[in-house]
Structure 1
Amino acid sequence: MERREFLKYMGASSVVLGLTSNLWAGGSKRCKEEVCREAWTKLCDYRIKEAAYAYVHPQKRLPNVFLYGDSISIGYTLKVREQLQGKANVFRTYRNGGATQNFIPGMEKMKKAMFQPYLKNGWDFKWDVIHFNVGLHDLKYMSKGKLDKENGKQVSSIEGYKEKLDEICTYLMKEFPTATLIFATTTPVPQGAAGRLAGDSVKYNKAALDVLAKYPSIMINDLYAFTKPNFNEWCIEPGNVHYNETGKKAQGKEVARIIAENLYN
C-alpha cells in the first residue's frame, strides 16, 4: 500500500474508531442512568408514582442535596427542587422517614441500593448538603398499628428521642464528613391532632436542641418557628399536622433558601 493510500486508510479508520468510542461512551452513560433508575424504582416501590419520588439523575457540575424527613418533607420536596433548579441536584429519601429508629437503617439501605460499590455502575458522588428532620413520628401515640393518644404508647420518650438523635448526628458526621448538615425543627402539633398531643413539638424540639448543642457544626433550620404563625392558614384542616399547597410551597421556599445559602460552604 502506497504512503498516500495508507494515510487515507488510517484517517478513515480513526474516524470510525472515534465514532465507535463516542457511541460506546454514550451507551455507557445511558446504561448507568438506566441501572440507577431501575434500582431507584425498585427501592421506592409503590411510592414511585408520587412526584416527590421521581428519579433524579445527578448532573456532575451541580452540588448534591439530600432531604430526609417524614410526610412534611414529602410535601415540600417539589418546591425545593423547583427553587434550586440549575443550582443543585435535589434528592430525597426513598420513603417517609418516620421516627428516629428508622433513620440509620434507612440511610444504610439507600446506600447499598443506589451507591457504588454495592450497585455496579451506581451513584458515585458525595452529599454536599443533608437537610434532615425526625420528631413528628417519635412523639405520636400508637396502639395496634393505629394512632391512638388515649390508649396508645408514645413511639419515643423524650430521653429515647435524644438518645437516637445523638446516634444520628454521630452517624452523619462520621459517614459524611464533608457534607453541610442542617437539622429542621419539627413543625407544630395542633389541638385535636390524631394520635398526637398539642405542644409536644415544642418539647421534642427543645430536646433536639439540647442534643445538637453537642454538634455546633450542624445548622438549625427552625421550621417550627417559621410555620407556627401561619399554621391556621397553611394547615389542611383544623387538627391536622399536614399542610395545604400554600403551606407546602412556603416551607419549600424556606428550606431551599437555607440550603442555597450553604451550597458552597
Structure 2
Amino acid sequence: MKNIFDKQVILLLTLMLGGFQLAHAQESHSAALTKRSAMKADTDNVVSAKGQWAKLAGRFAKRPEFAYVENAPDLPNVLIYGDSISIGYTQRVRKNIGVQANVYRLYKNGGNSTVLIPAMTQMHDVMRDVTLDQPWTFQWDVIHFNVGLHDLTVIEPTDNGSEPESRTSIEDYKKNLRSILAYLQELAPDAKLIFATTTPVPEGAFNPTRIAGDSKKYNEAALEVLADYPEVIINDLFTLTKPNQPKWWSEPGNVHYNKTGSNAQGDQVAETILKALEQSDAE
C-alpha cells in the first residue's frame, strides 16, 4: 500500500515539475518573441543618415562636392561653409587633406549672410538626430566659412530715378557677421574658425549684377568686425585671387573660376585648415 502511495506521489511531483518546466519554456519563448519584436521595431525606426543627407542636398546630392561623408572617428572634422566659390574648391581641399581630416561642406550654396544660421541649424538638427543609423556625434575641429558675394549682389531699381542697392547693406552685413560669429562659437566652442575673404568682382559682372570694387568694401567691413575676434583666422582669398583674376575667371565678367583658379584657392584653403589643426594640436 505504501509503495502504491509513494508511486502516486512521485507521479504527481513529476507532473507538477513537467508543468512548471512547460510554463517556464512558454514564458521564455514569449519573452524571446517580445524581444525580437522590439528589436524589429527599433530597426524599423532607424533612419538612414546617408538618405537624410541626400534629402538635404536635394538636386545637388549626386555632385561629388555634396557627397555623403563617411566619418573616420580617428580624424579631425572640418566643415566648409560658403557659396559657389567654395563649391568650386571643395574637391581640391578634400584631395589635399582628405587623409588627414574628414572634410564636410554645407549641403547647398551658402548664399548671403542671412542664410548661414538657419542653414547650419537645419543641417545639424537633421544629421544629429539620434534616430539615424549614424548620427553626427562628433564635434567640429575647424569651420572655414565665407559670406559676402551674395550680399553685394545688386537689386535692380524699380524705376529709372533710383540707384541700384546691394542686397545686404554694409551695416547689416556687419551685424549679420557678429550674429554668425556668436552662433558658431556657441555651436562649436572648441573649433578653430577661419573666415575667407570674399573673392573679387570683375568689371561688367553679370547674372546677377555685381559692381566691381564692392568685394573690397565688404571685406573691409568684415575685417572691421573681425578685429573684435582675434581668435578667428583670416584666409585672404581676395588678395590671392585679385592679380590672377583675368587668367582664372571662367569667362570675362563672371565671378566664377576655371579649374586652375579653383584649385589655387583650394590649395590655400587646405593649407590654412592644416595650420589651424596643427595650432589646435599644439595648444
Q: 2:184 aligns with which of 138, 147, 172?
A: 172
- Structure 1 length-normalised TM: 0.83
5+ long unaligned stretches in structure 1: 1-27, 145-149
Q: Is the 8 A contact 1:185 1:221 kept in 2?
A: yes
Q: 1:72 aligns with which of 81, 85, 89?
A: 85
Write the deviation string for residues 139-166 of structure 1: whole angstroms up to 9, x where unpaired.
Answer: 001359xxxxx97542100001000011
Q: Confirm or deny that 1:61 pairs with 2:77.
A: no
Q: Aligned letter for 2:264?
A: A
Q: Is the 8 A contact 2:154 2:210 kept in 1?
A: yes
Q: 1:132 aligns with which of 140, 145, 151?
A: 145
Write the deviation string for residues 212-237 of structure 1: whole angstroms up to 9, x where unpaired.
Answer: 11111101000100111111110011
d(CA) in 1 for partners of 2:134 and 2:192?
A: 26
d(CA) in 2 for partners of 1:63 and 1:234?
A: 31
Write the deviation string for residues 12-59 of structure 1: whole angstroms up to 9, x where unpaired.
Answer: xxxxxxxxxxxxxxxx9xx98x82111100110111121111111110
d(CA) in 2 for partners of 1:54 and 1:203?
A: 34
- Structure 2 length-normalised TM: 0.78
Which SS does the other structure have where 1:131 is aligned? strand
Percentage identity across paired residues of the two chains: 51
Q: CA deviation at 1:119?
A: 4.6
Q: Confirm or deny that 1:92 pairs with 2:96.
A: no
Q: Is the 8 A contact 2:195 2:233 kept in 1?
A: yes
Q: Is the 8 A contact 1:112 1:118 kept in 2?
A: no
d(CA) in 2 for partners of 1:86 and 1:211?
A: 34
Q: CA deviation at 1:118?
A: 7.1
For residue 42 of structure 1, what is the aligned residue in structure 2?
55
Which SS does the other structure have where 1:91 is aligned? strand
Count how many residue pairs are aligned between Structure 1 and Structure 2: 231
Q: 1:219 aligns with which of 218, 233, 243?
A: 233
Which SS does the other structure have where 1:100 is aligned? coil
For residue 162 of structure 1, what is the aligned residue in structure 2?
174
Larger Rg: 2
Instruction: State which drifts further: 127-136 or 110-119.
Output: 110-119
Q: Confirm or deny that 1:113 pairs with 2:129.
A: no
Write the deviation string for residues 49-92 of structure 1: whole angstroms up to 9, x where unpaired.
Answer: 21111111110010000000000000000000000021000000
Q: Is the 8 A contact 1:182 1:219 kept in 2?
A: yes
Q: CA deviation at 1:116?
A: 3.7
> Alpha carbons of 1:121 and 1:78: their partners in 2 closer, same or farther (altered >3 Å)?
closer
d(CA) in 2 for partners of 1:62 and 1:237?
A: 38
Q: Aligned letter for 1:72?
A: I
Q: Aligned letter for 1:220?
A: I
Which SS does the other structure have where 2:144 is aligned? strand
Which SS does the other structure have where 1:159 is aligned? helix
Q: Aligned letter for 1:231?
A: Q
d(CA) in 1 for partners of 2:70 and 2:156?
A: 40
> Alpha carbons of 1:120 and 1:152: their partners in 2 closer, same or farther (altered >3 Å)?
farther
Q: Confirm or deny that 1:244 pairs with 2:258.
A: yes
Q: Is the 8 A contact 2:93 2:269 kept in 1?
A: yes
d(CA) in 2 for partners of 1:85 and 1:112?
A: 25
d(CA) in 1 for partners of 2:190 and 2:65?
A: 26
Q: Aligned letter for 2:236?
A: D
Q: 1:205 aligns with which of 184, 207, 219?
A: 219
For residue 19 of structure 1, what is the aligned residue in structure 2?
none
Q: Aligned letter for 1:85?
A: G
For residue 8 of structure 1, what is the aligned residue in structure 2?
none
For residue 256 of structure 1, what is the aligned residue in structure 2?
270
Instruction: Report the RMSD for the aligned CA atoms in angstroms.
Output: 2.1
Q: Is the 8 A contact 1:116 1:124 kept in 2?
A: no
For residue 199 of structure 2, what is the aligned residue in structure 1?
187
Instruction: State which drifts further: 203-212 or 35-44.
Output: 35-44
